[in-house]
């Protein structure tokens, strides 16, 4: 097994054994930094950052320099041809001919997937909108392993913006892959998106239970616990008495609290005016005095705003500056492995809890488009060459997941290529939750986002017993 010439776009691209190999090499390199200068000598890394960054960009560039390689970079989209309307595909093709590996950060969800599809060199996702940030997650997991030795069975509280926090989304799947239990503690209105929860339970096993009984912090303030994920190996019978078991679990204490700031740059119009201050407990020394946080590591991907007090910095449980420092050896190890610069042994160990279902793929030149306005496939410069493509992750109800941003949605109307057989009189469309929709084979499925969309393509509403006329 090898990571050579592979891409890292999401946490799905790395198995449990491969991540362990990255950690092992990072450990080795961190103990002998000065001895790595010949590892990638003569190699060039392209650093494409179309969104602000300090730690991620500088740690990647420092990592490549410490490996003896060179760096070419774009740190401002306004100073690149993207400002002139160049597509990501063209950018990827050109930059891929200049460099041996590309690191890209972009505000559009799924942008890293497009760059990986069109570049002929390995591509690393350094954060694509609110989608994922896999290398930050590697730093987070590496920190947990260094401090707690084993991640399996740990209880990790995710705190703050769980809706738009890309570090959170990557970390959720990685923690499940390593067999940890997860406590979701969101700011009001910033809960984990449904598509993340659906993927978590369908592909990693275990179960998520929403909490109804209110929890309190040490000083009696509301504890923002919304839901708990228990891995398949957990001894808890959460489904039988969820609130009771959650209370028992909390009394046993939390192993780490992962704090995130509100990602205000990704808020939609009706969220921009929200004043979140005071609506959930700030993580400070007072909060950490509580019994449940007695042994908890305090983690944060940084930068922080008001959600993490400065009085925690001197606490030996604070890990966020260690996380940032460990970003260099982690990224050194990853670059080395993707470039095939070292022959690294990777144990062929099965993931602890990944189910990897074989979902049918839905792709047509017309019909469904991703409803996520932040998705790369909806952008004008990219839509001219990107075809909408989805995985059919459920039939009851019919649910599609975009291959670029992984946003899940349930279409309203469907039709079949098999029924009309070229005859206009039998070109019918139906509601996606109807009996007829469930009979359509995946390869014959046509999805429409609206009545007008279906009728523009020559379909008429299928009137069958028990159905009602669609109102426009």
Look at residue 239 in the predicted model and tell me its pLDDT: 45
Say how far apart CA 36 and CA 21 lie, in whole Å.
17
Domain ranges of the chain: 11-131+326-338, 135-323, 361-461
Segment 390-401 shows an average pLDDT of 91
| Domain 135-323 in CATH 2.60.40.10 | no
Residue 313 has, within 13 A of its CA and on its CB side, a CA count of: 6
pLDDT at 28: 95
Length of the chain measured in residues = 472
pLDDT at position 78: 66
The per-residue pLDDT for 459 is: 87
Which pLDDT does position 157 carry in this prediction?
94
The answer to whether the 11-131+326-338 and 135-323 domains have the same CATH topology is yes
Instruction: Give Cα 438 to chain centroid, integer Å.
Output: 30
Burial code (b: 16+ CB inside 10 Å, e: under 16) for 377-406 equals bbbebbeeebebbbbbbeeeebbbbbbbbb
Residues 47, 76 contacting (CB under 8 angstroms): no
Please give the CATH topology (third level) of the domain spanning 361-461.
SH3 type barrels. (2.30.30)
Rg for the chain (alpha carbons), in Å? 24
Overall average pLDDT of the 173-197 stretch: 92
**Whole-prediction pTM:** 0.89
Helix (H, G, I), strand (E, B) or coil at 74: strand
Note whether 144 and 297 are within 8 A (CB): yes
According to the model, what pLDDT value does residue 262 have?
Answer: 85
In this structure, of 195-204, 246-255, 370-379, 448-457, the range with the lowest mean pLDDT score is: 246-255
| Phi then psi dihedrals of residue 378, to 5 deg | -95, -5
Q: What pLDDT band is residue 441 in, cutting at 50, 70 and 90? A: confident
Has residue 169 got a pLDDT over 90? Answer: yes
Residues 6+ apart with CB under 8 A from 237: 245
Alpha helices by DSSP H, 85-223: 88-96, 111-118, 134-148, 166-177, 194-204
Question: Which residues, listed in sequence order, are joined to residue 185 by a DSSP beta bridge?
Answer: 159
- Sort 348 into a burial class: Cβ within 10 Å, 0-12 / 13-18 / 19+: exposed
- CATH for 11-131+326-338 is 3.40.50.1370
Cα–Cα dist 112/99, whole Å: 16
User: Is residue 412 within 8 Å of 118, Cβ to Cβ?
Assistant: no
């Amino acid at each position: 097994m090898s990571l050579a010439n592979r891409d890292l776009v999401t946490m799905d691209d790395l198995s449990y054994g491969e991540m362990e190999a990255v950690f092992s090499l990072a450990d080795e390199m961190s103990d002998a930094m000065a001895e790595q200068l010949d590892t990638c000598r003569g190699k060039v890394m392209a650093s494409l950052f179309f969104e602000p960054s300090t730690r991620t960009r500088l740690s990647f560039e420092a990592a490549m320099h410490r490996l003896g390689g060179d760096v070419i970079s774009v740190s401002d989209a306004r100073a690149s041809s993207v400002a002139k309307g160049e597509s990501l595909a063209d950018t990827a093709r050109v930059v891929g001919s200049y460099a041996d590996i590309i690191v890209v950060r972009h505000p559009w969800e799924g942008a890293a997937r497009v760059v990986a599809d069109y570049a002929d060199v390995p591509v690393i996702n350094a954060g694509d909108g609110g989608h994922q940030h896999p290398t930050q997650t590697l730093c987070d997991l590496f920190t947990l392993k260094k401090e707690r030795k084993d991640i399996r069975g740990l209880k990790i509280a995710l705190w703050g913006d769980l809706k738009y926090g890309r570090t959170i989304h990557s970390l959720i799947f990685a923690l499940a892959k390593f067999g940890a239990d997860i406590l979701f503690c969101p700011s009001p209105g910033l809960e984990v998106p449904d598509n993340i929860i659906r993927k978590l339970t369908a592909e990693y096993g275990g179960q998520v239970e929403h909490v109804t009984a209110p929890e309190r912090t040490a000083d009696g303030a509301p504890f923002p616990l919304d839901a708990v994920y228990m891995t398949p190996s957990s001894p808890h019978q959460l489904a039988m008495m969820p609130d009771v078991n959650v209370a028992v679990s909390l009394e046993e204490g939390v192993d780490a609290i992962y704090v995130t700031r509100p990602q205000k740059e990704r808020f939609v119009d009706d969220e921009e005016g929200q004043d979140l201050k005071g609506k959930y407990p700030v993580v400070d020394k007072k909060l950490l005095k509580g019994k449940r946080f007695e042994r908890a590591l305090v983690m944060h991907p940084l930068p922080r705003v008001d959600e993490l007090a400065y009085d925690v910095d001197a606490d030996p449980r604070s890990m966020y500056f260690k996380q940032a420092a460990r970003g260099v050896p982690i990224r050194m190890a990853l670059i080395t492995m993707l470039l095939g610069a070292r022959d690294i042994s990777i144990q062929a160990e099965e993931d602890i809890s990944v189910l990897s279902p074989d979902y049918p793929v839905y792709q047509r030149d017309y019909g469904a488009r991703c409803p996520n306005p932040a998705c790369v496939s909806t952008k004008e410069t990219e839509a001219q060459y990107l075809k909408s493509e989805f995985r059919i992750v459920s039939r009851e109800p019919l649910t599609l997941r975009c291959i670029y941003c992984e946003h899940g949605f349930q279409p309203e109307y469907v039709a079949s290529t098999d029924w009309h057989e070229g005859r206009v009189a039998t070109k019918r469309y139906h509601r996606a939750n109807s009996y007829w929709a469930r009979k359509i084979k995946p390869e014959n499925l046509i999805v429409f986002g609206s009545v007008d969309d279906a009728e523009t393509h020559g379909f008429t509403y299928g009137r069958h017993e028990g159905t009602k006329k669609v109102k426009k």
